[in-house]
Amino acid sequence: MELPRRNRGDELLRPGEMASLRQRLRQIAPKHDLTTVIACAFDHRTRMLPFIYADTHMVPAGVRAIGSAMVDAGFEKTRIVLQQWNKHFRPSRMQLDGRIPDLFMVSSMSMHSGRAMELMKDARRIDPMHRPLIIAGGSHAVYEPHQFFSGNPDLPGGADVVVTGEEFVLLSFLEVVLSFRAEGESMRLAFNRARDAGALDGISGLVFARGGQDGVAEKLMDTGIQRLLGDLDELPHPVLGYRLLEPPSGAATLGPRALPASRIQWLSPISSIVLTFGCKFACPYCPIPAYNQRQHRMKSGQRIAEEMWRLNKEYGLEHFFGVDDNFFNKKGTTLEIVEALANAEFEGVPLREKVRWYTEVTVHDTLQMKEHLPLVHKAGCRALWLGVEDMTAKLVNKGQSVDKTSEAFRLMRANGICPMPMMMHHDSQPLYSHGTNYGLLNQINLLRKAGAVSMQVLMITPAVGTKLYEPTFTDGMVIAKAGGRKAEPYMFDGNYVVASTLPRPWRKQLNLLIGYLSFYNPWWLLMALIRHKSRVGFKPAIVQVFGMMGLIQSIRRTSGWAIRLMVGKIDRVNQAPTCKIPVRAVREGIPSHAPVDTPTPTPRGRAFPLPVAG
């Protein structure tokens, strides 16, 4: 299930290619007057540790980036709807600028896929003559695009097209469809004509249906793996996306205006921001290296500084979370960025006095940067999330050990940077081990002594896009039902034990809660208050408060599943999910996004022209 790699040397777009595409779209946008609604699917049953608070107080980077790209390309009549804030939004009742939108886009993670399908199903209730073109995207689309289509005539629905790539893929798709669009014609009809003419086959990063009736796919066409944007400075400015947010509401319809700029810092006080992409490690449970085609991509330090400054000036945003894969991945790149942030000055004010930022790194790379941690702090960094997983490196080895992890954490605390470890629990790890550091509680205690400010503990689950995905099923680990209750997509978030070979998996479910309780509790809140004079101040105490709030939610949401695992019958599966709809590559070969054992029909002749672009 790991994404295949493009030919060496063809992984990235040519320099300036993204900028040229944006410019071409600006020239044709006024002729089409498109209206677009972008929905972020969200299942509120996922609201617990470690996602609590940030899940509703940080506008997701993906939908905001797509909104920014649309506005930058000249399509200003765009609205972003977050189900986090608009739980009752119904696409069948949406109107923007007094009319049904031309485009309806849905972005989803795998654990929110149920809500995404509901949104698209509701959108299809609109009269076919006026229904918008439905486009699906997000991380779920990257790895499982087939799940956005239906092959059942009795249950039509899903997307018209799935974008398995980033902004460049979407904008390239729009450019081609608009070239087929006649005056006054719907985008859906223009899409159908472009698809049937084979004009979309040359855009890598799309999956769409051919044959069958509307909403029912006879077969799926896969145009292959996207080419990635290497110079992230070519991305549209993120400030544009914040102008498009739908205000929080209990209504099913859209409001007359987007969220006022003055309210953004109160509803989304944390801003996601792109710094770098890519990681040199190849952990079998992680899809990141394959997604990035083993490339490291970055923004310049000056561009990042300008983005932070402008977001702060226009919306009052002061806290930024870098959606990095491993910010310390390349030492030279990291130093260029942090030096720029440390020295950036706008209108006579140093940037570091206005903003604070946080991101993800590894223990190994933190130690490589140890002499530069004072500069990282000076640049405005106040917390780093580290994928510790297992301090003994028995689960996965990324250069971490008990001594190295402890050293990295103490160095971070000494420089005023909060260490925020992320742990993984698994079948072979006991809750407590006598005389060793292998047990979950042993490691949590060691991390706390080393200075951990927060704690994230998740159970290993089948993760799409990883080397371990299929073996997790074929080894008989995945739980389909427990006590008659089906394991639904929202439960594959690491908080629920849905993959275990143990005869009593309920113990692992309780271990997660016990591990959290050993870290988040009134005693350690009191200790954090007493020790507030350290360089990290009251931050540990604040995190303890949110941690205890999140733990209450985790107990409330997962206890029922633990009981079912304890007393109910457990049904497991031994085969990875497949796609019943045949999938075909527009190029010769195996489709890039087809699950294992998916039918891949061989054409009797070349029905469509060879693609001319990658």
At 398, is the pLDDT very low, low, confident or very high (cuts 50, 70, 90)? confident
Mean pLDDT of 519-537: 94
At 392, is the pLDDT very low, low, confident or very high (cuts 50, 70, 90)? confident
Asked whether residue 18 is assigned to any structural domain, the reply reads: no
Same domain assignment for residues 429 and 500 = no
Same domain assignment for residues 288 and 373 = yes
> In whole angstroms, what is the distance from residue 439 CA to residue 373 CA?
30
> Is the model's pLDDT at 564 over the cut of 60?
yes
> Is the model's pLDDT at 614 over the cut of 50?
no
Residue ranges making up the domain that contains 471:
462-573
Residue 600: what pLDDT? 64
Mean pLDDT of 467-493: 95
| Of the residues 454, 472, 501, the one at which a domain ends | 454
Q: How many domains does the chain have?
A: 3
Residue 2 DSSP class: P
- Report DSSP letters for 246-301, one per residue: PPP-S-SSPPSSPPPHHHHHHH--EEEE--EE--S---TT--HHHHTTT--EE--H
At 601, is the pLDDT very low, low, confident or very high (cuts 50, 70, 90)? low
Place of tokens 């765009």: 78
Q: What is the pLDDT of residues 10-37, one digit of tens each?
A: 999 999 999 999 999 999 999 999 999 9
115 contacts 43 by C-beta, under 8 angstroms: yes
CA distances from 508 to 268, 440, 501 (A): 34, 11, 11
Asked whether residue 138 is assigned to any structural domain, the reply reads: yes
- What percent of the chain shows pLDDT beyond 90? 87
Q: What is the pLDDT of residues 107-158, one digit of tens each?
A: 999 999 999 999 999 999 999 999 999 999 999 999 999 999 998 888 888 9
CA distances from 206 to 59, 70, 165 (A): 25, 18, 8
Same domain assignment for residues 97 and 215 = yes
Same domain assignment for residues 467 and 446 = no
First to last CA, the chain: 22
Same domain assignment for residues 315 and 358 = yes
Q: What is the pLDDT of residues 226-249, one digit of tens each?
A: 999 999 999 999 999 999 999 999
Same domain assignment for residues 505 and 481 = yes
Mean pLDDT of 457-468: 92
> Is the model's pLDDT at 605 over the cut of 60?
no
Asked whether residue 606 is assigned to any structural domain, the reply reads: no
Residue 510: what pLDDT? 98
Asked whether residue 71 is assigned to any structural domain, the reply reads: yes
Q: What is the pLDDT of residues 57-68, one digit of tens each?
A: 999 999 999 999
Same domain assignment for residues 311 and 423 = yes
CATH of the domain at 307: 3.20.20.70
> Is the model's pLDDT at 394 over the cut of 80?
no
> Is the model's pLDDT at 409 over the cut of 80?
yes
Q: What is the pLDDT of residues 428-453, one digit of tens each?
A: 999 999 999 999 999 999 999 999 99
Mean pLDDT of 45-70: 96
Asked whether residue 359 is assigned to any structural domain, the reply reads: yes
Q: Which residue type occupies 575?
A: Q
| Of the residues 213, 230, 247, the one at which a domain ends | 230
Mean pLDDT of 489-493: 95
Mean pLDDT of 503-509: 96
| Of the residues 406, 426, 454, the one at which a domain ends | 454
Same domain assignment for residues 210 and 107 = yes
Residue 301: what pLDDT? 98
Residue 566: exposure state from Cβ atoms within 10 A (0-12, 13-18, ≥19): middle
Same domain assignment for residues 215 and 72 = yes
Q: Which region among 287-296, 366-375, 506-515, 581-590 has the lowest average model confidence (pLDDT)?
A: 581-590
> Is the model's pLDDT at 607 over the cut of 70?
no
Same domain assignment for residues 448 and 477 = no
Same domain assignment for residues 219 and 320 = no
Residue 215: what pLDDT? 86
Q: Is the backbone peptide bond immediately before 50 cis, with ω within 30 degrees of 0? A: yes
Asked whether residue 4 is assigned to any structural domain, the reply reads: no
Residue 611: what pLDDT? 31
Better-scored residue on pLDDT, 147 or 611: 147
Residue 156: what pLDDT? 85
Place of tokens 């609205």: 79
Same domain assignment for residues 434 and 473 = no
